[in-house]
Structure formats: C-alpha cells, structure tokens
Chain A
Amino acid sequence: MTTETMDAAIRYEVDADGICTLTLDLPGEKMNVLGGRLTTPLDEACQRAVADAAVKGIVITSGKPAFVAGGDLKAMGEGFDYSSLSKGEIAYRLGSLSRMLRALEQCGKPVACAINGTALGGGFEIALACHYRVVADDPEIQLGLPEANVGLMPGAGGTQRVIRLVGVKAALPLLMQGKILKPADALAAGLVHEISPVGEIVTAAKRWLRAGGDPVQPWDKKGYVIPGPHSTLEREFRGIFSGSNAMVRANGLGNYPAPELISSVIYEGAMLPMDKALGIESKYFSLLRTGDVSRNLIRTMFVNKGRADRLEARPEGIEKLNFRRIGVVGAGLMGGGIAFAAAKAGMEVVLIDRDQESADRGKDYARKKLARDVEKGRSTQDKMDAVLARIKPTTDYAELGDVQMAIETVFEDFAVKSEVLPRIEAAIPADAFIGSNTSRMPITRLAGSLAAPERLVGMHFFSPAERMPLIEIIRGTATGAQALAHALDFAQAVRKTPVLVNDSFGFFTSRFIGSFVGQSLAMLNEGVSPALIENGARMLGMPMGALSISDLMGLDTGYKAAQQEARDRGEEPPITISSRLVTEFGRLGSKVGKGYFDYGEDGSKRIWPGLAALLPTLSEQPSIDEVKARILYAQLAEGARAFAEGVLVDAMSGDLGACLGVGFPAYLGGPFAAMDTIGVPQVIVEADRLAGRYGEAFALPKIVRDMADRGETFHGATAVLSPGAMAT
C-alpha cells in the first residue's frame, strides 16, 4: 500500500488491491469549499490515478465532516470580472469543472464516490460524475443541487446527469427549486446507489470496485434513453414544460432568470447527446453566473445576511447572553408572536397584559399556530405541549423579577408606552435590558421615561413575528453597548437576522416601506388606475401592491396610526382617500371584506367600483413602466435619503432590512445593490426626471451626486463611507 500526499488538498492512497482513494481535505478549512484550490489538485490526482497502471479503480471521499458543501458564495458575491473575455471564453472557462468531470466518467476506470457527509451543489455534481455513489446512513446528510436558490444553476454537469438518472419530470423540482434530499430520498429517487453505515462507506465503495464495477455511465451505453418523456414529439414532454413555463412566468414575472434558464437547459439538454448537452449547460450557466441577479442575490441574501447573522455589528468585550427567561409586555398580535418565537427557541416567557383574558389570548396565538403544525404533521403534540408550557400568561409584573430582558409590545402610542416602560424597569433585575417593539417611535424619546435610559434598545419585529426573518435593532442616543449587544444576541437566539440602525422617526424599514405606500397613494390621488398601481408593484417584484397591503393591514389600523402620528408630530391629521374609506364608507379592509377592493367569498377580489367616484381619473394613463419606475425610485430615493441622514450603519443593513423586512425584491438585492446595478449616474438621471414630474419623493441627497462625481458605489471596492457608520 502506498500513501503519499500529492497535494495538501487531496490525499492519494493506493491499497494492495490497486484501489486508489482520493480524500478531499482542504487544509486550514472547516469545509471543502469548491474552487480552484480543490478542483485543480483533484484533477491532477484523477489524471495520475488513471495513468497509473497499478490502479484498477478509484474512490473519491472527503476528510471533512461534510463531503463538499458547495461553491464559494463569498467569492461569487463579489461578482466576476469578465470584462476582457468574449462570451464564448467565459462559458468555456466556467465549464472547466464540467469538462474535468466528463473526462473522469469516461476515463475507463471505475470511479466510486463515498459520500460521507453533506454534498451540495458542485459537491453533489462530483458525486454524480462517479459511476457509483454510496452515502453514509445519516439522515442529517443533505444531498442536492440548490444553485437555483442563489440565482444560479448547476454548471458541472449536474443538470444533465440528474435528468438522465431520474427523468425530466422528477428533475424539474430538484433543479428548479433546489430541493434538498436526505440519503434515503436520494436512494429512492435513483440519485445514489447504496446507503451504508457511517464509517463503512469507503469499504462499500471498494466492495463495488472489487466486484468489477462498471466504468461506463448509463448515458454512455449504446441504446440509452432518458427515463420517461424526453422529446418534443411526446405530448407529455410538451405538457410538462407548458405547465412549468406558465407557473415560472406567472410567479416569477420575468424577474428571476435562473428558473427560466434551468428550464431551457433541461428541455434542450434532454434531446441532445451528453457532450452537446454539457456544452449547452455551460453556456446557460455562464449567462446566470455573469448576470446581475445572481450577484445581488448571493451578496445580500447569503454573504451579507451571514455577516449580520454572525453579529458582526456587535460591540466587543461584552459577554454573550444566553437567554433562559424573558418577559413580553403586551399580549396582542406582536406580543403573542414574539412570545411564540422565544418559546420555540427554548426560552421561558412571561407574557403580560392588563387582564388575564388578554394575556391568555396572547398565548392562544402560539397554541393555534402549533395546533396547525401538528395537524399538518410539521410538529408533534409533545413538542407543542413543551413550547406552550414555556409561555406563562399573567397580569403580574412581579413575574418579571428574574427575566434577562423584557420587550414591550404595547399599543403604538407615546403616552401608553411611556407609562409601561417605567413599570417594566421597576420590575426587572438591574442587569436586564428592555426592548421596545415599535415600528417608528424614536427610542431616544421613549428612553426619557426611564431612570436608566441606557437599558432601552429598539427591537422592531415584523408581523407575523414568529415567521418574519428580520429584527431591526435601533440604537437610541442613550442606548448602552450592553443592551445593544444583548439585543443582537436575542436576535441570534430566535434565529432572526438583526440589522442595526440609528435612531430616527420610522428608523429605516418603516420610512422605507412608507415611501412605497406613499408613492402608490400619490398615484391613486392623481387618478392613475388602481389596477396599474397594484400590477406595477407586483411586476416590479413587490409581494403585493400598496392597496392590497393597506387592506390586509386594515385601513382602520392605518387610519388610527396616521391620526396618532399626526398628534405625535403636533400636526392636524390629514384627510386622505383611506381615511375617507374608513370614516365615510366603513371600508376597513380585507377583514370585513371591503377596503380598496371588494373581497369575494371565493378569495377573488375586485376594485371597489365606488372608488372611481372619490378620485379623479387620468384620461391618459401612464405606461406600466412609468408606474414601476415611480414605485422603484420612490424607494431608492428614500433609501438614499435615510443613508445620507445617517440612519443606516452601512448599505448592507439597508439592503437586508428592505429585502427581509418589507418585501423589497430580492432579485434586486436591496435598494443600494439596485442603485449599484443600475449605476449611480443613471439613477440620478432617472430620479431627477421623476422629481421634475412628480415631486420631492424622488429628490436625491447630495451624497449620491458626490458619489457619481467620485465614481463611488454603495458596495464593493469603491464603496462610499456611510454617514451613519458607528464605532461599536
């Protein structure tokens, strides 16, 4: 037996039977991340094994807990400098792993893959190129090709091998939705050949090799045909794509190229021999890899989200707080949701309201949601009981005597909050901190009601709180480093992404979504058709139009908030179309079946015909592109103004807050990524045009013009320094 280290990344061992084991083990890394550091030595090791006459067969396995967890998203999030290359050269370069794996499966010697741990993306593609795949019997192992979720597609033969193994119909969800499989599911689907006990997979792989493993892939055998429909001459094949194409277009609105190009690579690849099919895959892959959408998705939703999740913004030198017991004061919708989220994360929750009935109702929120999970098989009765047992509804502030933090979630009224906060302060231990769940009230002002204002930190949750992935953490002028650090710890403990912002009215997310709603209502008041306003938002990629959002939230809720806000600002409440709907017509929103829309019992909705009489109608309606531009640029300009005013610590927080909190389209990567993608000078031209026609909502702050002059961007090497950057 020979053992030697050919390259640090790959261990090369040949046993007495002539079986060469290649162990992927990237030095100095916790995981085998796919990249040139791994694939170049793997290629060399494979070529060496093939050339070595003593080697009869090859086993590929990993020296890390995971096999190969996928590509290097961090590198991908930086984009890809292809400016000097032709499109063909780019596709060729990006196809290097694909060609290497094709050579491996045609090398003439049998190759087995011993999948010891999670194999995703490119890692799973390596496995698919082997003639035999044995995976460890561990249900925690994840197998699959999730590239679609980051705006990409498999680019190393994965699409073509999957359709040749399982057929086009079964391949669609695996490739287009990036479905992840457990080993047992992968075996049932036909993607792996064998499941073996943990620790015995290399033995199992060698057993297959010794038994005369076949060195020819099924698709390289004469007479091979793809299982199931695989040609446009088959009605079922056409039906699969007609249906799938319609759904992709209906729901993606043409904003997400990955599912579209994945459809093409499956459709076209199924009708081609393997080598031509792989060439097609490389071409389509290169289009996604060099596109704006994958870069924006990866940078915001994975790289930057990861940085926020790791609490990069957390003040140093403060011990991490492990939450055992917290208080939630105010058992309404938000309080109930927050209590539920905390209880699910294993915390004891004291849930307080004015009367026991209200407090119990807050706990019922969790009970109802859990019961549905149990009913649908997503949870068990035991787990449900355990979570509920951790929530204690009460009216007694004394129960807060041993909590580590308390969050107030009472009504958005300065007077009410100012009354509750001191009561909480008096009840909780001296080292505990207080979070205020408010969507817009300045924390600095609220802190004025406390004896120790440094204990208060803003914690803006989004509804439904147990599901929405974001918490906006607001640092008031007085907020102490400890409260801030522990608020971030809490976000991590309940598995939500925190974005840290500076204090101001509406912070970031509320004023940001306000610009979307405000611009939509401005159009409505000008006489733009409600259908155009709603569809424009949807087509831009917003989850729903502003009128639908208003109806869903309750027009009365919005009306009361506007009244309150005006009072808080010392202004006269304005009479708006939505206030008229509430006060004159009793149209309170979707909960009563009527708001801007009339809601049918079958779930249908139609614009309320009476709306037309309350509004002017423009004889010449704007184009849908103009409506989309107004909805987009109102948000870009508001984001830029918040950035200029120092509300945002950095552009990344704005992108995350917008995408995770208030539905800004992820394909744009957030308002700041979007401005970089469009180009800051182009943003100025369009925003100035819109400001000239429609007013101040599109006014850009000076910093954006300075950025254009200096050639700066919001992200990357030429990034501008955020006026709100804080030393933490």
Chain B
Amino acid sequence: MRDILIYDHVRTPRGKGRKDGALHEITPVQLATQSLAALKTRNALPADSIDEVILGCVSAAGEQGATLQRIAPILAGFDDRTPGLQLNRACASGLEAISIAAGKIAAGMVDLAISGGVESMSRIPMGADGGGPHGADPAVTFHTPFVMQGVSADLLATLYGFGRDDLDAYAVESQRRAAHAWNSGYFAKSVIPVTDVLGTVVLDRDEHMRPEADMQSLGALKPAFKDMGEHVGFDKIAIQRYPEIIGIEHVHTAATSSGIVDGAGAVLLGSAEVGARLGLKPRARIRSFISIGSEPILMLDGPTPACRRALAVAGLDVGDIDLWELNEAFAAVPLRLMQTLGIPHDKMNVNGGAIALGHPLGATGAMIAGTLIDELERRDATIGMVTLCAAGGMGIAMVLERV
C-alpha cells in the first residue's frame, strides 16, 4: 500500500445557518469553489494536477445537489479533466470523502485528490433531499424503528449516566476552548475568508460561538427534545429497544447540541511521489480509516467501535493518541467516547467543537481533520484521531500521524 499523505487543508468560517447568517447570501457551490481555489493558490497547483474531487454533502438537493461537485473544480480554475464525486454518509461525509480518496491513492489509481464537504444549511435545510425511507416508509420503519436524533442523544445520556450538569459543563468548556483558540490565532492558518461577488469579505471568523455561555445561562434553557420524545412517541420506541430503562431523561438543549451552520472544508491529499513532483510538503500521513455501523436507535455511539478498529488497524493503543477530534453532535457523544476509551478531557477537542463552532453536516469531517493536523503541529505532537458519529447509526474514525 502506498503512503497516503495530507499536504494541506482549508476551511471556510462557519456562518450561522439562518437567514441572518453572514454566509446565507453565498451559494453552496461558491463555498466549495472558494475552498478549492484557496488550495490551488496556496499550493500553486497546476490546473491539471487533481485526479479526483470528492465532497460530502448531506442535503444534496436543489442548488446543493446533482453536479455541484463536478462543476466547482472548474469554477475554481481546475482543468475540465478534474472529476467530481458527491457522497453522503450523513455526518461522516466529510471524513468519508478523505477515506475514499485515501483508498484510491493507496491503490495507485489516484495521485492527487481534494476531499472535503460543503453544506449551506441556511439555504438548503436538512431533509430537503427527501429524507429517505427510514422514518417515513412504513415497511422500513416498522422493521427497524426510527427515532429522532435528539432523542437518541438523550437516550445515550440516560443509559450512561450523563446528567444535565455534565452536558452543560461540557458545552461551557467547548465554548471556552473555541474562543481561546480563536483569540490565540490557532485557526488563522487554515480558515479562508469567504468573499462575495465583488470580492469583499463577508465572513472570516466562526460566527456561531457564544463564549459568554456559563452554567447559569445554559441551565435556563429548555430541553430541546422532550416534546418529540414524549408526544411523538420516540421515547416509547427507544425504550422498546432499551427496556433496561423506565424513562428517558431529556437533558440536551440547543446549547448542548451542535450548531446549525454554513460552511465548506477541503483537504489536499496524495501519494508521496506526486508531492515530490509538485514540490508539496507533506504534513500528515493517514494510518487507518474505518467506517462502521452501530445500533440505529441509539445511533450516536458509533465512534467507540470505529476508533477501536482504527487503532487496531494502525497497531496503536488509546494511550498512543496525542489528540482526539470528535464531532460534538451532542454533548453526550464526546462524554461517551471519553468514558468508553478512558480519554482525558485535555486531549479531546482541545480547541472546542461543533457545540461552539457549529456542524455544517457534510463538511465537518474534513474541517476537524484539518483542525487536528494544525493542533498536532502547534503542540509538536505526533498522532491524532478524527472521529464522528453519523445518522442511522454509524461511526467513522481516522488515525493521522504528522510527518
């Protein structure tokens, strides 16, 4: 197997995924194009140098669907020969895009690729692609019952004993870390300003953060998924699968769930040979990449088995990992991974996570892979793990090592 090397990465700032968000006026194809173009410029890539562009996108409908991935490279100044692939592994899409390119590079079929993701949640809302069969199609849903993700998060917290204060405290710390990272310039190297049609910068900093959040302000929030759980029937469905509990404690709020944002991320990866040929300096090596399914009602506990397998494939132990980046879909998700693998909090999401920064569904995996590489470099550490849970019950994990 050839070495798979990461040469560079960029991401847009994450704009509030609402009509008053700074990125709402920017089309998703522009978010993707500006990310691709930034990589091209920063690395002086020839127009014909890219063999594959893979961009994850969860709600691939309307302007965000179909041929976005094929046309964005052309808009970014690449040659017509650059193909584009849209993929959807739900919240794991951005990291899966890197995994698939890694597989092609390792197999010798691709030399240089750009992987990442794009999601304008303000313009194309979740579910805009039709939502799929699970939940709506009775024949599917009565075979394998469906519960809304937020109820799964509360189920995870109930099953493993995370109370409201545990979650709120985690969120406060995520906000604190994200603010500290921005204030210290840790993100500066990789966040590209997004510009409008005139070339004016519309956003250059994540705008979802609430650094002022504290236990008191978070404690005042209402549980976000109590109504869905109690009145739509999802609690009862979850208990049918987890009969060891009597009820679900609805402990997650908007502040302990990932934020809805717009954004794109892109990672440049390829073989050692292509890097040498183009004069690129490798920054990290991909040691393993694993996707795995988990039970769909609990849905959010896939990172643990995915990480275990990624460690095993790489021949590593938990203690070998210097830094962990896990998508903060809900606060119970990182708390559970820390619990199962015995990860100290000071190695987990050290610059905050999606609770503070936001989670642009299809793009997040690529964004946090980049965040991990930057932080490994800043700390002069060596090995890191990137991992996400995904809808329908899936986990993805990737071990990265600085070179």
Contact = CB atoms under 8 A, between A and B. Distances in A.
Interface of A: 232-233, 235, 237-238, 241-243, 245-251, 253-254, 260-261, 263-264, 267-268, 529-532, 534-536, 539, 597, 604-607, 621, 624, 627
A247 B232 contact: yes
Given A235-B127, A238-B127, 5 more contacts: A245-B136, A245-B146, A248-B138, A267-B138, A539-B243
30 contacts: A237-B136, A238-B131, A242-B135, A242-B136, A245-B135, A245-B138, A246-B232, A246-B233, A246-B234, A246-B237, A247-B233, A248-B142, A249-B142, A250-B232, A250-B235, A251-B236, A253-B240, A254-B240, A261-B138, A264-B137, A267-B136, A268-B139, A531-B244, A531-B245, A531-B246, A534-B246, A535-B243, A535-B246, A605-B246, A607-B246
A94 to B, nearest CB: 19
Contact of B247 (A247, A249, A251, A604): A604
A547 to B, nearest CB: 10
Interface of B: 127, 130-131, 135-139, 141-142, 145-147, 232-237, 239-240, 243-247
Question: Shortest 8 CB-CB distances between A and B: which pairs?
Answer: A250-B233, A535-B243, A263-B138, A250-B236, A246-B233, A264-B138, A238-B136, A260-B142
A235 B247 CA distance: 30
A292 to B, nearest CB: 17
B142 A254 contact: yes
A246 B230 CA distance: 11
Q: At the interface, is chain B mostly helix, strand, loop or mixed?
A: loop
Given A246-B146, A249-B233, A535 B138 contact: no
Contacts of A607: 246
A330 B13 CA distance: 77
Contacts of B147: 246
A260 B138 CA distance: 7
A629 to B, nearest CB: 14
A684 B247 CA distance: 35
B130 A233 contact: yes
Nearest to A232: B130
A261 B137 CA distance: 11
Given A246-B234, A267-B137, A539 B146 contact: no
A228 to B, nearest CB: 16
B90 to A, nearest CB: 17
A532 B235 CA distance: 16
Contacts of A245: 135-136, 138, 141-142, 146
A605 B139 CA distance: 33
A532 B243 contact: yes
A250 B237 contact: yes
A245 B133 CA distance: 12
Contacts of B247: 604-606
B119 to A, nearest CB: 18
B136 A624 contact: no
A544 B140 CA distance: 28
A539 B139 CA distance: 20
Nearest to A234: B130
B118 to A, nearest CB: 22
A235 B135 CA distance: 12
B47 to A, nearest CB: 38
B232 A243 contact: yes
Contact of B244 (A251, A264, A621): A621
Given A235-B127, A250-B237, A535-B239, A242 B146 contact: yes
A621 B245 CA distance: 13
Nearest to A235: B127
A268 B247 CA distance: 34
B161 to A, nearest CB: 13
A610 to B, nearest CB: 15
Nearest to A257: B142
Contacts of B240: 249, 253-254, 535, 539
Contact of A529 (B146, B237, B244): B244
A232 to B, nearest CB: 6
In this complex, the member of B130, B131, B142 whose beta carbon has the largest number of chain A beta carbons within 10 angstroms is B142
A529 B131 CA distance: 38
A242 B138 CA distance: 8
Contacts of A249: 141-142, 145, 233, 236-237, 240
Contacts of A246: 146-147, 232-234, 237
A674 B134 CA distance: 32
B243 A531 contact: yes
A539 B236 CA distance: 10
Which of B135, B141, B239 counts the most chain A CB atoms within 10 A?
A: B141
B138 A241 contact: yes
B141 A532 contact: no
Contacts of A530: 246
A624 B245 CA distance: 12
A270 to B, nearest CB: 12
A627 B247 CA distance: 18
Q: Which of B137, B138, B235, B239 has the largest count of A CB atoms less than 10 A from its CB?
A: B138
B343 to A, nearest CB: 27
Given A245-B136, A531-B246, A604-B247, A250 B130 contact: no
A254 B240 CA distance: 10
Contacts of B139: 264, 267-268
Given A238-B131, A248-B142, A249-B142, A624 B243 contact: yes
Nearest to A253: B240
Which of A233, A267, A530 has the largest number of chain B CB atoms within 10 A?
A267
Contacts of A247: 232-233
Given A238-B136, A241-B136, A245-B146, A606 B246 contact: yes
B334 to A, nearest CB: 27
Contacts of B130: 232-233, 238
A327 B10 CA distance: 87
A606 B146 CA distance: 25
B234 A250 contact: yes
Contacts of A233: 130
Nearest to A545: B246
B244 A532 contact: yes
Contacts of B127: 235, 238
B232 to A, nearest CB: 5
A621 B235 CA distance: 22
Contacts of B244: 529, 531-532, 535, 621
A241 B237 CA distance: 15
Nearest to B131: A238
B130 to A, nearest CB: 6
Contacts of A238: 127, 130-131, 135-136
